[in-house]
Structure 1
Amino acid sequence: MSYLERVRTQNPLIHNITNIVVAPFTANGLLALGASPFMAYAHEEVADVAKMSGAVVLNIGTLEERVVEAIRLAGQSANANNVPVVLDPVGAGATAYRTETVQMLIRELRLTVLRGNVAEVSNVIGESWSIKGVDAGQGEGDRIGIAERAAQRLGCVVVITGREDVITDGQTTFLTSNGHALLTQVTGAGCLLSSVIGAFAAIARPGEDLLGSVVEALAFYGVAAEIAAERTADQGPGSFQIELLNQLAQVTPDILAERARVRQIDGGAQ
C-alpha cells in the first residue's frame, strides 16, 4: 500500500498551528487529501491536541507572543508523546524576531521534518542567503549542500522547495521535479505543502522509511499542481487554487506513479 493510500485509509489527525493568512486553505487541503485538520492555538489545550494527533505542523507565518508560546507547548507535547513535528520557518531571516524564534524552537524541540525555501533553511542553520519578505531572494549557493547540512545538524528530514525540491535526511538525498509556477501565485501553497508532509509523516510506521513518505508527499503535491494547472490553463491563479484542492482529492496512486519525477542522488555533504 502506498503512503497516499495509507493517508486516505487512516485519516490522520493533523494539528496545525499556522498563520492566519492560510488557515482555511490548509484545512480544506488536508480534508481534500483525506486527512483530518485540527486548528488549535489556545495554551490551555495545545498540549492535549498535540498528544492525540498523528502529526503537529508548526508554522511561524504570523508571529506574536501567544502564538510562539502555543507553538512551543505543542511541540514539547508532541516530542514527549513521539508525535512527528513538522516546522515551517516562514520568513526566517527576514526579521530578527523570526530568526530568534526559529533558533529557540530548534534548541527546545526535536524536529521530524523542516520544510522551507532555500533562504529560510539557510537562515535556520546560520548560513547566509538573501530573503525578500517570506520569499527566497536571489543568491548563489549549493541548495543540496545546505539541505544536507541542515539535516545533519538538526537530526531530521529537511525539504527545500523550489523549481526542483530537495529532500534529505543528511545521508540519502532525493530530488523531485513535479509542480507548477502557479503555486507561487497562490498564498499558502507552501504552508499547505508542509501540512501535507505532516499527513504523510503521520502514517509512516515506527522504524519505517520516513524519508520515503516525505518524498512521496512532495511528488504527490507536485503532480496535483501540474494537473490543476493543465485543467485551468486559460483561467488564472484563482481557478488554479480551487482545482488544486480538487486534485488533492482525485490524484490516485496510479496517477502518481505514472507522473512522479523523482531521482536519488549521492548524499552526505560534510
Structure 2
Amino acid sequence: MLREQVIEAHRALQGRTPLVQCITNVVSANYMANVLLAAGASPAMVDNTQEAALFAGIADALLINLGTPTDAQVASMRLAAEAARQAGKPWVLDPIGAGGLPWRGGVALDLLRFQPSAIRGNPSEIKGLSGLGEGGRGVDSSDEPASAVPAALQLLQHSPVVCASGAVDHLVGRYQRQQVLVRIFGGSPLQPRVTATGCALGALLAAYQSVAEPLVAAVAAHASFAIAGALAAQRHTAPGSFAIGFIDELYRLEEASFRERMQLEVTALETV
C-alpha cells in the first residue's frame, strides 16, 4: 500500500510541478534549485522580510533551512512559517546545527510553534532539537540514524513526520492510524561528499508534501534520493561527476525505478 502511494506521489509531483519556496543557506541554494527542477518541482528562493510571508501564501510548499541564518533571514523564516500555517500550506524544517549551536537551536525550537508538516535532519540535529544528547557537528553527524529514533518520536508532538537521514534513513510518523518507523535503504557513500545534498533532500520533501500526506511524502523524497544515488554511483566514482550524475538520475526517475529499486521496511510502533 505504501509503495503504491509513493509511486502515486511521484506521478502527482511530475504532473503538478509544485512551486517550492526555499529559505535556505548560501551554500545550498544553487544545488537545491537544480535538484528541484530535475525532480519536477519549481524552486523560488524568496527569503527577504518584504516578500517572505506573501510568497508563502502563493507557493505550494515552503522549506526553512537553518544552514547559514542571519537576523534578517530568521525574521523571514518566522513570517513565512506563520503565513504557511495560516494558508494551510505544508512546510519543512531542516534544523541544521540545532544540536551544537545554541542560537540557531533556539531559532529552530521557536519555529516549532508554527507546526511544520515535516522535520528533516541528520541524527545529531534531530537529537539536538528534541533536547536529547549532544554531539552536533554542524552539517555533519556523529550519530547513527537509529540512535535518533527516540528523539524523533518526541518531536512528533510538533510535526506529523520526523526524518533522520543517513546511510539508512529512519522516518517516524503516523500512517493508517499507527505510529510507524520506516527504514529506507540504498543511496551511495558519495552523497555525503557532495555539499547541499541533505539540504536539497529537505526541499524535495517540501515539494512532495504538496502532493501527498506527510509520511508518504517523506518516504517518496527519501526513496527518490536513495534510488538516484545508487544509480548515479554505477556511473560515477568521484564526488564532482557524481553530483551532476545524481541530478541526471533524479530527472530520469520513472515508476519502474521505484518498483524495481525502492527498498524500505515499515515497522508499526503503536496505535494512535
Matches within 5 A, 1:1-270: 2-107=8-113, 109-138=114-143, 142-151=147-156, 153-169=157-173, 171-204=179-212, 209-233=213-237, 236-268=238-270
Secondary structure at the aligned position of 1:131 is classed as: coil
Q: How many Å separate the matches in 1 of 2:100 and 2:171?
A: 23
Residues 180, 140 of structure 1: CA spacing in aligned structure 2 closer, same or farther, 3 A cutoff?
closer
TM-score in terms of structure 1 length: 0.92
Superposition deviation, residue 165 in structure 1: 0.7
| One-letter amino acid matched to 2:250 | L
1:49, distance to aligned residue in structure 2 (A)? 0.8
Aligned mates of 2:145, 2:25 — CA distance in 1: 29
Number of aligned residues: 262
Q: Which runs of 5+ in 2 are unaligned?
A: 1-6
Alpha-carbon deviation of 1:68?
0.3
When normalised by structure 2's length, the TM-score is 0.92
Q: What is the CA-CA distance between 1:24 and the residue it aligns to? A: 0.6
- 1-side partners of 2:192 and 2:81: how far apart? 28
**Contact 1:147-1:166 within 8 A present in 2 as well:** no
Question: What is the distance in 1 between the residues matched to 2:16 and 2:9?
Answer: 10
Partner residue in 1 for 2:3: none
Q: Which amino acid aligns with 1:176?
A: I
Deviation at 1:149, TM superposition (A): 2.2
1-side partners of 2:49 and 2:104: how far apart? Answer: 20
Cα contact 1:85–1:111 (8 A) shared by 2: yes
Superimposed CA distance per residue, residues 201-259 of structure 1 (whole angstroms, 9 cap, x where no aligned partner): 1112xxxx4312211211111100110111113xx100000001101100111111110
Query: Alignment partner of 2:63: what SS?
Result: strand
Question: Any idea what SS the aligned residue of 2:25 has?
Answer: coil
1:52-97 deviation digits (Å, cap 9, x = unpaired): 1111000010011001001110100000000001000011122111
Distance 2:215 2:70 in 1: 32
The 3-state SS of whatever aligns with 2:100 is coil
Q: Select between 112-121 and 153-162 the one with higher mean Cα deviation.
A: 153-162
Offset of residue 140 of structure 1: 10
What CA distance in whole angstroms lies between the structure 2 residues aligned with 1:132 and 1:269? 35
C-alpha distance 32-60 of structure 1, shift in aligned 2 (>3 A): same
Q: Which runs of 5+ in 1 are unaligned?
A: none
* C-alpha separation in 1, matches of 2:159 and 2:146: 22
